[in-house]
Structures are given as C-alpha cells and as structure tokens.
Structure 1
Amino acid sequence: MGQEKASVQFVKGAAILGVAGLVSKLLGAVYRIPYQNIAGDIGLYVYMQVYPLYTTLLILATAGFPIAISKIVSERVAVGDVIGARRAFRVASISLVILGFFFFLLLYSGAPLIATFMGDQHLTTPLRAVAWSLPLVPMAAILRGYFQGHQNMMPTGVSQVAEQLIRVVFILLSAFWAMNVYQDAYLAGTGAVFAAFPGGVAAVLVLLWYWRKDKHNLLPITTTQVQSSGVSAWTNRQVLQSLLYYALPICMGALVLPLVPLVDSVTVVNMLQWSGMHEDLAKLAKGAFDRGQPLIQFGTFFATSLSLALVPAISEAAAQRQNKLIANRSEVAIRLTFLLGLPASFGLALLAEPINVMLYGDDKGTQALAIQSFTIIFATLSIASAGILQGMGRVMRPARNLFIGVVVKLVLNLALVPLWGIAGAALSTVLAYLVAMGLNVLAVKKYTGAKIGLRQTALRPFISVIMMSVVVLVVEWGAAALFGKVVTSERLFHTIVGLIAVGAGAVVYLLALLKTGGLTRNDIHFLPKGKRIAALLTKFQFLPKERTVVERNQ
C-alpha cells in the first residue's frame, strides 16, 4: 500500500513539474513578440545580447543543485539521517549564495569589458541590471531542491510559473514605459533583463510561503530518534562532496543550451562591423535576426513536451530490460517528432514574409527567418533523441553532441556572417543543430536498437509536406489576389493571407499523412488523448476502421 502511494505521489509530482515547465516555456516563447512590437529591433537586440550570458552564469550558479539537494535530502531522510538532511540544506544554501554573489560581482564589475567584447559599450548598463538577480535566484533553487527532496513538487511548480509570469509582465510594462516616456530602446532592454530580479523575488516569496505553511511537516524526526537508528550523520565535507558529485554533471549538460545564442551575442554584430557594416545597422540587423528565436522555440514546443514523457517511459522500459519496447518507443517518438517538425519548418519557410509582417510589423530579416525555420526540424529531433538517451541513462551524451554543434556554430558564424550577413548566422544555426541531431540519432540507434531509416521515417512525410507546400503557395497567391485591393493595412493584409495559408496547409498535411499512411493508428494512440482522436478520425472516415482479431487472422 505504501509503495502504491509513493508511486502515485511520484507520478503526480512529475506531472506537476511537467505542466509547470511547459507553461513557463510557453510564456518564455510568446512574450518576445509583443516586447519587440513595443521596443523594436534595437530593444530585442539589447535583450538577446545580454540574456544568454545571464542564463549561462545562472546555470553555472544553480543548475543541478535542486536535483542534487533533493536527492541527498530524500536519501538521508530514507535512512533516518535527519541531521545529514538538514546539513545538506545548510551547506547547499551557503555554497549557492556565495556562488551567486561571486557571479554578481563578476558580471557587475566586468560589464564594461564584456560590453566591449560584444562590440557595444552601451550594453554596460543592461549587463549590470541583469546581474542583480544572480544572488537571489540560487535561494529559489535551494528551496525547490529541499521541497523536491520531500516529494513535494507543488512549491517548485507554482514558483516557476509565478516567476515567469511576473518576469513577463515586468518586461512588457517596463518596455512600454521606457518607449512612451523616453523613446529609449536601450532603457527598454535594461528593464527587460532586470525583470529577472522581480521574477526571482516572486519565486522566493512563493517558496517561503510554502515553507512557513509546511515547516512543521518537514523533517519532523528528532535528534534522539536519529541517534537511536544507528545511522551516522554526514559531515559538512561529505555533504559538499556529494552535492558537487551530483550537481556538476547536470550543470555541464545544461550549460550547453544557452551557448548557441551566446555565440550569436559575441560574434554577429562584431562580424557585421568587421565586414564593413555601420554599427547602428549591425545592431538593427542582429535585432531582425533575433525575431526567429521565439518562433523556433514555439516550433519545438511539442518536442519538449514529448521529451518530458519520454524520459520516464524509456527509463521504465530500461529498468525492466524490455529492449524491444525501448526500440519501439524510440522509433515512434522520432517518427512523431519528424511528422510535426517537418511541416513546421517548411510552413515557416514558405510563409516567412507574411508571418514576419504579421508578428513584427515589417519584413526585415525575412530571408534569415526563412533559413532559420529549418532549425525547427533538427532541434525537435535533437530534443526528442536527447530525451531517449537520458531515459537510457546516457545523460552526458546529448550535452556532448550539442557542444560539438556549438563549436560548428562558432566556426561557421566567423566564416559566413562576413559573407552573407544574418543569413549566414541563420544557416550556421541550422547546420549546428543538424550536427547535434545527427550525433544524437546515431547514439539512439546504437543504444536502443531502434530502426530509424530515411525510408520508413521520412518518405511518406516528405510526400505529404510537398503536397502541403503546393497548396500553401497556391492559397497564399489566391488570398493575396483576393484581399490585395480590399485590405489597405499591410500588416492586416499579411495576417489574413498568412492565417488562411497556414490553416489550409495544416489541413492538407494531416489529410495527406492519413491517406499515405504516414500517420498510423498506433502513432495517434501514442499522443495524449490518442484513442479519442483516433475514434474521431475513424468516425469521419479519415482513418480506416480498426480490424478485429478474426479479420486479421483471415
């Protein structure tokens, strides 16, 4: 009974963290569009120059520690070492706060030098503004790890959503104020990056509220009970060693993620100026290039959701040594990811201009956006395959592969940006993720035995996406001809054309997949509410009726 209750608690906790993570990522993908509409390309440029560096330092200061703290606390509590659990919390608290203050001083004092390295001295103030949150966020990481160690995931989930929500609201309000009162895009960017501080305050306050509410339930065992259990309490040194042992590999793995935009932060503007472009034009070009980031992030949203389900699903099969089940689940995951990533890439590439004007008000950077759109297919496959490898216990392999992709990105940026401008930076991003994805998929085939060939995975989706592309181009041309003389607003015109073409493309692609057999009943069952979706498609005769056992035997 106790094991069943613990299992239910674990599933519930994983679901809470999964939903909270997805909501946070969705907010993080969407807000940059209204922010750019308020602050313009220069405001977006300022934000995207500074934020990847902040994220990198934040990962160094916190990533891995919540998991490490939760693991140590739960282990110590399980063996009756409550003193060791408390000591783990105290040592982690002191260590992370010191580390947070160190990175604050490093970024604040080094801001002028970093700004010079990025090719823009005006970035000094935004860099110093974002530094203020570095001592604060580790406190949230400590508390989250402690709650997770007690199998209480609700405080972590609620604090994540609260942090992101407050941050987004502050970003948009501060940008609106800066542009309406001072017409200063750099001030808007400074407010946007400083928003990490009030977001961190919100997270800490939520966690402290839970702490006060549950403090009587946390570690209720007395010292006398611990001594009578015969378990020796850990020393400070043992706790610190264990924290570093668990946290550092996770930290190194997470560190790779912000390195791709960080490479753009330190190379694109410098390379554009080196090729002869004026500084102001180089900043505008970088801001136009950064428009693609939220669209790519949104395009990979499904893969992120799928990876959250994949890790425990693959881990469960691996623990039971069900090799065929591992291979089957891996094949289905890769195929589903490809089915959704492929049309997203082609659709965005074909409709780059109307989507660009619809979301951002003009067509600056359209060519780079069209090229960047193919990042979606490779990034989604990279995320899904990383989830499979993590479920197999190969945690560092995806990080290593992505780091190789980052090196490719850096080399290609230096070579292509002087030649082709931001289009070269876009191409280097696509190729970097292609390399990372290719290495991940090879590793998946090696460790799972999954059969991932071009014929069974890509042929039918490619046929379907070609049919979709033809329809999208025809509908776009027809809608443009129909509304061209009726709608006078350029932004409204492109919005109508874009939405009609996207809708037509989505319907045709789905029908083509069902007719060619690119999407099967088993694939649909793998999705959330899959059986209900399959029944609905069968009812409207888009999917053939499922044969009975007698029919199959005949």
Structure 2
Amino acid sequence: MAQEKTSLLFVKGAAILGVAGLVSKLLGAVYRIPYQNIAGDIGLYVYMQVYPLYTTLLILATAGFPIAISKIVSERTAIGDVQGARRSFRVASIALLILGLFFFLLLFGGAPYIADFMGDDHLTTPLRAVAWSLPLLPMVAILRGYFQGHQNMMPTGVSQVMEQLIRVVFILLAAYWAMYIHEDAYLAGTGAVFAAFPGGVAAVLVLLWYWRRDKKNNPALYADTPADEGDATSENNPTWSNRQVLASLLRYALPICIGALVLPLIPLVDSITVINMLQWSGMEEHLAKVMKGAFDRSQPLIQFGTFFATSLSLALVPAISEAAAQRQHQLIATRSEIAIRLTFLLGLPASVGLALLAEPVNVMLYGDSNGTQAIAVQSLTIAFATLSIASAGILQGLGRVMRPARNLLIGVVVKLVFNLLLVPFWGITGAALSTVLAYFVAMGLNVLGVKKYTGAKISWRQTALRPFLSVLVMAVVVLVVEWGGYALLGGVIKSERLFHTLVGLIAVGAGALVYLLALLKTGGLTRGDILYLPKGKRISAFLTRLRLLPPSKDHVENA
C-alpha cells in the first residue's frame, strides 16, 4: 500500500513538473515576438546578446541543485534523520548563496570586459542589470529542492509558472516604456534582461508562502528537535556533518549541472561570434546589430517547432526508465522506435513548411522580411532538434544522462567552427547553417546511441521514406496555395502585414491537411502510431469513420 502511494505521488509530481515546465517554455517562446514588435531588431539583439550568458551562469549557480537537495532531503527524512535533512538544507543554502554572490560580482564587475569581447561596449549596462538576479535565484533553487525532497511538487510548479509570467509581463512593459517614452532600444533590452529579478522575487514569494503553510501544517519538520523522542545523533537517527552534506550535494548536482550547461552554449556562441565576424568582414556596426537581431527572430519559431518533442521527452524518460527497471528490453526498443518515428513525422513538415513560408511568417509575426533567408535555412534545425530532444529523453531514461550532453557539446564545437568559417562570407545565413549542422551532428550521435543501447531497429522506409514522400506532396500544395494567395489577394488587401498573414495561414492550413492525408495514404502514419498520441483512441475512431484509416481487426470482428 505504501509503495502504491509513493508511486502515485511520483507520477502526480512528475505530471505537475511536466505541465509547469511546458507552460513556462511556451511563455518563454511567445513573449519574444511582441517584444521584438515593440523594441525592434536592435532591442531583440541586445536581449539575445546578454541572455545566453546569464543563462549559462545561472545554470552554473543553480542547475542540478534542486534535484540534489530533494534527493538528500528525501533520503535523510526516509531514515528518520529530520535534523540531517534540515542541516542539508542549511548547508545547501549557504553554498548556493555564496556561489550566486560570486557570479554576481563576476558579471557585474566584468561587464565592461565582456561587452568589449562581444564587440559592443554599450552592452555593459544590460549585463550589469541581469547580474542582480544571480544572488536571488539560488534561493529559489534551494526552496524548490526542499519541497521536492518532501514529495511536494506543487510549490515548484506554481513558482515556475509565476516566475515566468511576471518576467514576461515586466519585459513587455519595460520595452513599451523604453521605446515610447525614451525611444531607446538599449534601454528596452536592459529592462528585458533585468526582468529576471522581479521574476525571481515572485518565485521566492510563492515558495515562502508554501513554506509558511507547510510549517503550519507539518510543525514536526520545522521543530528544533526531531519529531521522535530520541537523540538526534543516536543510531536510529544519525545526522550528517556539514562536509558530508556538501560532498553529497556536489556529487549529485555536478553531473546534472554539466549536462544542462551545454544547452545555452549554442546561442552563447552566436552572442560572441556573429557581431564580431560581421564587423570583421567589413559590415558597419549598426547594420551588424540589426542583422543579428533579425537572425534572432528564428528562436521562438524553432521553440514552437520543438514543443511537441519536448512534451514527448518528458513522457519518455519515466516510460523508458520503468521498462528498463523491469528489464523489458523489447518494450524499450519498441517505445524508442515509435518515439523516433513520431518525432520525425512532426519535425520534418514543421521544418519544410517554415522554410517554404519563411517570408509570409516573418512579415506576419515581425512586420517586415528582414532575415527571411536565415529563418528559411535555420528552420531545418527543427527536424534535427526534435529528434535530438526525443533521443536524449530515451538515453536519459536508460540512465545515460551524460551522453546527450556530450553529443550536444560536440555540436557546440561544430557550431563555433562553422560560425567562424561561414559568417564572414554568408553573414547571418552562414550562422543559421552552422546551427543546422550543430543539431544534425548532435542528433546523429544521439540516434546512434539509442540504437546501440536499446537495440531499436529503425526502419528508414517507415521512418523517413514515407514521410519524405508526404512532405513532397505537402510542399507542392503549399507552394501552389502560396502563389495563388499572392495572385488573388495582392491587389485586394492593402496592408502588407495582413496580406502575408492571410497567405501564410491559408498555406499552413492547406499544407497540414494535405500532409496528414498523404501520411495516412502512404502508410507513414499507422493506427498503432496514433494510439500512442494523447486521445489516440478517439482520433483513431474519428479517422476510421472518415474512412481515412482502415477498420481495426477488433472492429471487423465485432461487425
């Protein structure tokens, strides 16, 4: 009974964190579009120059520590060592606050040198603005880890969403104030990166509210002495020393920290190299900044494109872990094969569709066509990034946590090398191509790892050939609809943005419908695949009624 309750708590907690993570990611992708509309490409450039460096330092200061703290707290609580759990919390608090303060001083004091290294001295103020949140956010990580250690995931989930929501609202308000009152894109960028501080304050307040409520409901966990009568240092209730707590904390947190650290390195490479390479090739400074801002337009589009893969990855890790714990090797292979196929089925049309419709989508979202070619090239990242995320989820479920990080780090090296080679000659299109190559390499290494460790037999006819044929049909229809939309609506609609919006939406709708029909007709999407999707049975039954899927064997037998 106790085991079932623990399993239920785990599943519920994973679901809460999964939903909160997806909502946070969605908010994180959405806000950059209205922000660019307010602050322009220069404002977006300022934000994207500073934010990847901040994210890198934040990961160094906090990533892995909530999980490490939760693990230590849950272990000490499980053996009745309540004081040991509290000691772990105190030691982690002091260590992370010192680390956060160190990175604050490093970024605040080193801002002029970092700005100069990035090729723009005006970035000093934005760099210093974002530094203020670094001493605060470790406290968020500590509190989240403590609650997770007591199997209470709600405070983490609510604080994540609230932090992101307050940050996004502050970014948009600050950008509006800076542009419409002061007409200063750098001030807008400064406000946007400073938004991490009020977001962090909101998260701390939410967590402290939960802390106060939990303290009232569970006073034994917060008492000066353990809940049971007995000495805190007895054999039944041993307490760790500070050194033991710190050693255990680092042992758990560092591998996760290193793995998470790789993700912001690709945009950080762009922050360091693109502006410098553009100016080195002879481009005027202001134009280089505008082009970098136009290049950064593709980031939210790629995040949207990989949203499904992120959701699938969150579901894959526990599913693969469960099968691995039960030594069900065939089930691991089957789930891996289906995950790879479904991810590719969605990533490929998203890449090709965005590449074909880059201009109308660009004008629809950002108001002009700057950087359209770079968006078209970088859209190919979606197919490789989705496969990379899904395959990383499979490897993590098998306990191979560091392998995806290593593979992505190799991709970062590829990104750096090709940025240096291509940007001086092809500009931001070269930077876009180097991103595609980076994710292609990381994806390829991950998929090879999946085949090696799961024994999955990936049928390239089923996984790639049929989707390629379906995408080819989709591409023809999209191009015809796009051309027809330009011809029919060109003289009717005067607003360029509304014109491109209508053309883009009609072409996207037609392309999605044709791609689905082509997949069903070629057998690229089977009933078995559909059943793995959310509401799969209902979708399958609906498609069967429309005669887009053949009746199932059970249906035929019952008839």
- How would you bin the TM-score normalised by the shorter chain? over 0.9
Q: Which residue of 2 aligns with 1:191?
A: 191
Q: Which residue of 2 aligns with 1:450?
A: 456
Query: Structure 2: which amino acid aligns with 1:313?
Result: A
Q: Which residue of 2 aligns with 1:182?
A: 182
Q: 1:400 aligns with which of 402, 406, 417?
A: 406
Query: Structure 1: which amino acid aligns with 2:429?
Result: A
Q: Which residue of 2 aligns with 1:501?
A: 507
Q: Does 1:277 align with 2:283?
A: yes
1:82–1:223 Cα contact (<8 Å) kept? no
Give the aligned length. 552
Q: Which residue of 1 aligns with 2:137?
A: 137
Q: Which residue of 1 aligns with 2:9?
A: 9
| Deviation string, structure 1 residues 381-425 (Cα, Å, up to 9, x no partner) | 000000000000000000000000000000000000001000000
Alignment of 1:207-286 (within 5 A): 207-216=207-216, 217=218, 220=221, 221-222=226-227, 224-225=229-230, 226-227=232-233, 230-286=236-292
**Greater shift after overlay, 265-274 or 475-484?**
475-484
Q: State the alpha-carbon separation in 2 of the partners of residues 271 and 23 from structure 1.
A: 36
Q: State the alpha-carbon separation in 2 of the partners of residues 197 and 16 from structure 1.
A: 24
Q: Which residue of 2 aligns with 1:519?
A: 525
TM-score normalised by structure 1 residue count: 0.98
Q: State the alpha-carbon separation in 1 of the partners of residues 311 and 464 from structure 2.
A: 22
Q: Which residue of 1 aligns with 2:328?
A: 322
Q: Does 1:20 align with 2:20?
A: yes
Q: State the alpha-carbon separation in 1 of the partners of residues 421 and 228 from structure 2.
A: 63
Q: State the alpha-carbon separation in 2 of the partners of residues 454 and 261 from structure 1.
A: 32
Q: State the alpha-carbon separation in 1 of the partners of residues 118 and 337 from structure 2.
A: 43
| Deviation string, structure 1 residues 348-407 (Cα, Å, up to 9, x no partner) | 000000000000000000000000000000000000000000000000000000000000
Query: Structure 2: which amino acid aligns with 1:310?
Result: L
| Deviation string, structure 1 residues 298-349 (Cα, Å, up to 9, x no partner) | 1000000000000000000000000000000000000000000000000000
1:540, distance to aligned residue in structure 2 (A): 1.5
Q: State the alpha-carbon separation in 2 of the partners of residues 361 and 467 from structure 1.
A: 30
1:223, distance to aligned residue in structure 2 (A): 6.4
**Greater shift after overlay, 526-535 or 280-289?**
526-535
Query: Structure 2: which amino acid aligns with 1:224?
Result: E
| Deviation string, structure 1 residues 11-57 (Cα, Å, up to 9, x no partner) | 11110000000000000011000000000000000000000000000
Q: State the alpha-carbon separation in 1 of the partners of residues 19 and 116 from structure 2.
A: 40
1:549, distance to aligned residue in structure 2 (A): 9.3
State the percentage of identical aligned residues.
81
Q: Which residue of 1 aligns with 2:161?
A: 161
Q: State the alpha-carbon separation in 1 of the partners of residues 46 and 233 from structure 2.
A: 57
| Deviation string, structure 1 residues 471-513 (Cα, Å, up to 9, x no partner) | 0000111111111110001000000000000000000000111
Q: Which residue of 2 aligns with 1:293?
A: 299
1:224, distance to aligned residue in structure 2 (A): 3.3
Q: 1:485 aligns with which of 488, 491, 511?
A: 491
SS of the aligned residue for 1:215 comes to: helix
| Deviation string, structure 1 residues 143-172 (Cα, Å, up to 9, x no partner) | 000000000000000000000000000000
Q: State the alpha-carbon separation in 1 of the partners of residues 174 and 83 from structure 2.
A: 45
Q: Does 1:534 align with 2:552?
A: no
Query: Structure 2: which amino acid aligns with 1:190?
Result: T
Alignment of 1:410-489 (within 5 A): 410-489=416-495
Q: Which residue of 1 aligns with 2:389?
A: 383
1:539, distance to aligned residue in structure 2 (A): 1.5
1:541, distance to aligned residue in structure 2 (A): 1.4
Q: State the alpha-carbon separation in 2 of the partners of residues 80 and 400 from structure 1.
A: 38
Query: Structure 1: which amino acid aligns with 2:481?
Result: V
1:222, distance to aligned residue in structure 2 (A): 2.7
| Deviation string, structure 1 residues 118-142 (Cα, Å, up to 9, x no partner) | 0000000000000000000000000
Q: State the alpha-carbon separation in 2 of the partners of residues 240 and 411 from structure 1.
A: 38
Cα distance 1:20–1:165, how it changes in 2: closer, same or farther (>3 A)? same
SS of the aligned residue for 2:456 comes to: coil
Cα distance 1:444–1:328, how it changes in 2: closer, same or farther (>3 A)? same
Query: Structure 1: which amino acid aligns with 2:204?
Result: V
Q: State the alpha-carbon separation in 2 of the partners of residues 395 and 284 from structure 1.
A: 38
Q: Which residue of 2 aligns with 1:36?
A: 36
The root-mean-square deviation of aligned C-alpha atoms, in Å, is 1.2
TM-score normalised by structure 2 residue count: 0.97
SS of the aligned residue for 1:151 comes to: coil
In structure 1, stretches of 5+ residues that fail to align are none
1:453, distance to aligned residue in structure 2 (A): 3.9
1:454, distance to aligned residue in structure 2 (A): 2.3
Q: State the alpha-carbon separation in 1 of the partners of residues 229 and 113 from structure 2.
A: 55
SS of the aligned residue for 1:16 comes to: helix
Q: Which residue of 2 aligns with 1:547?
A: 553
SS of the aligned residue for 1:548 comes to: helix
1:345–1:375 Cα contact (<8 Å) kept? yes
SS of the aligned residue for 2:354 comes to: helix
Query: Structure 2: which amino acid aligns with 1:174?
Result: A
1:83–1:223 Cα contact (<8 Å) kept? no
1:80–1:229 Cα contact (<8 Å) kept? no
1:272–1:417 Cα contact (<8 Å) kept? yes
| Deviation string, structure 1 residues 273-302 (Cα, Å, up to 9, x no partner) | 000000001000000000000100110000
Q: State the alpha-carbon separation in 1 of the partners of residues 382 and 528 from structure 2.
A: 24
1:547, distance to aligned residue in structure 2 (A): 1.0
Query: Structure 1: which amino acid aligns with 2:105?
Result: L
